[in-house]
């Protein structure tokens, strides 16, 4: 029986080696020019390619757009049939071509020059026609395509994609894009929800709090009524000073003489200075707080910056939402 692992792994190694080689061969001056052009671009980024390079162009444009740099894909094949109209003088073009002599891309170069649009090329031949027409050239030269025939675009497309990722992530950093900015573009995905949903989006609000002198019977009634498994204890300014959960009540009753229980009040049952969470905290971070201790907790009291009680959030309120 033939074994395929060696061939399989060699393909990955060939592509990995090409990525390492690219770090050495791409001139820093060209990287500087390319990133500066994008950061200074007042319009949108147009990414173009033909065939497999066109597919890579789609991914690069999608990555840039999702990281707050507006980018679209232009089919070089369709450009000369009216689609050039999408390009304005404020835009910038990223052109992908392994040979640097792709007919469809070279055909649109004069029209880009007419519009005075800057061109960044991701190209496998830095002496090619496309390279000579570009304002910045990112050297994507490879020794061989992965595979025994050296024919199918493999290593070349992997390298072009990696260069596109490097462009997008570098631009993202120097645009000072934050987690919140990123979340705005990803509202429905799990990652976006982790970065967007806050405690006050999910917490139980408008809850009654109780003083430390409240009788234990009234506390039990309140916990039963709220159906949250806990109530907050606050001072005269409604600032959080404690919390009482079902567990607190059970533990206190267990260790207290039955004849004394009748005289106990909230202060005797409550957890003093409990772990709490600010209302503008990310829900994901609140969940991490619940799960990070030696013993997991199932809910947190919610406060504002002045420690005023605002509500309660439970682990069940968060799980399934992010």
How far is 167 from 176, CA to CA, in rounded Å? 14
The third-level CATH classification (topology) of the domain covering 199-318 is CBS-domain (3.10.580)
> Pick from 94, 98, 103, 101: which is nearest to 71 by CA?
94
In which element (H, E) is residue 48 found? strand 45-49
- CATH number for the domain formed by residue range(s) 5-177: 3.40.50.10490
- Domain ranges, ordered by start, for the chain: 5-177, 199-318
| Beta-sheet strands, E only, within 152-308 | 204-205, 230-234, 240-245, 271-272, 277-278, 299-303
**Burial status of residue 117 (CB atoms within 10 A of its CB: 0-12, 13-18, 19 or more):** buried
Same fold, 5-177 and 199-318: no
Taking CA 107 as the corner, what is the angle to CA 103 and CA 108, rounded to the nearest 5 degrees? 130
How confident is the prediction along the chain (322 residues), in pLDDT tens digits per residue? 678 999 999 999 999 999 999 999 999 999 999 999 999 999 999 999 999 999 999 999 999 998 999 999 999 989 988 899 999 999 999 999 999 999 999 999 999 999 999 999 999 999 999 999 999 999 999 999 998 899 999 999 999 999 999 999 999 999 998 877 776 676 666 666 666 789 999 999 999 999 999 998 899 999 999 899 999 999 999 999 999 999 998 888 888 888 888 888 999 989 999 999 999 999 989 999 998 877 778 999 999 999 999 999 999 999 877 7
Give the tokens for residue 35: 């990133």
> Pick from 297, 305, 171: which is nearest to 243 by CA?
297
The pTM score is: 0.70
How far is 25 from 160, CA to CA, in rounded Å? 14
């Amino acid at each position: 029986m033939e074994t395929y692992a060696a061939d399989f792994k060699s393909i990955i190694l060939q592509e990995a080696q090409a990525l390492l080689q690219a770090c050495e061969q791409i001139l820093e001056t060209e990287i500087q020019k390319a990133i500066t052009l994008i950061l200074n671009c007042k319009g949108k980024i147009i990414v173009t390619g033909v065939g497999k390079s066109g597919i890579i162009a789609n991914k690069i444009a999608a990555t840039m757009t999702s990281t707050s740099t507006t980018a679209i894909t232009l089919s070089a094949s369709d450009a000369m049939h009216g689609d050039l109209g999408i390009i304005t003088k404020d835009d910038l073009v990223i052109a992908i071509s392994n040979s640097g002599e792709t007919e469809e891309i070279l055909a649109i170069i004069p029209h880009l020059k007419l519009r005075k649009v800057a061109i960044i090329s991701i190209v496998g031949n830095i002496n090619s026609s496309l390279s000579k027409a570009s304002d910045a050239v990112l050297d994507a030269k490879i020794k061989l395509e992965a595979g025994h025939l050296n024919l199918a675009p493999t290593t070349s497309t992997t390298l072009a994609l990696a260069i596109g990722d490097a462009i997008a992530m570098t631009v993202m950093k120097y645009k000072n894009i934050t987690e919140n900015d990123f979340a705005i573009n990803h509202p429905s995905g799990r990652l976006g929800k982790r970065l967007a949903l806050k405690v006050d989006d999910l917490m139980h609000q408008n809850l009654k709090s109780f003083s430390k002198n409240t009788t234990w019977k009234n506390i039990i009634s309140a916990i039963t009524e709220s159906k949250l498994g806990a109530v907050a204890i606050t001072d005269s300014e409604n600032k959080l000073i404690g919390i009482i959960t079902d567990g607190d009540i059970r533990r206190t009753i267990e260790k207290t003489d039955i004849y004394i229980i009748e005289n106990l009040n909230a202060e005797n049952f409550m957890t003093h200075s409990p772990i709490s969470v600010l209302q503008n905290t990310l829900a994901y971070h609140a969940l991490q707080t619940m799960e990070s201790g030696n013993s997991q907790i199932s809910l947190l009291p919610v406060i504002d910056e002045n420690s005023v009680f605002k509500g309660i959030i439970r682990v069940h309120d968060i799980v399934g939402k992010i």
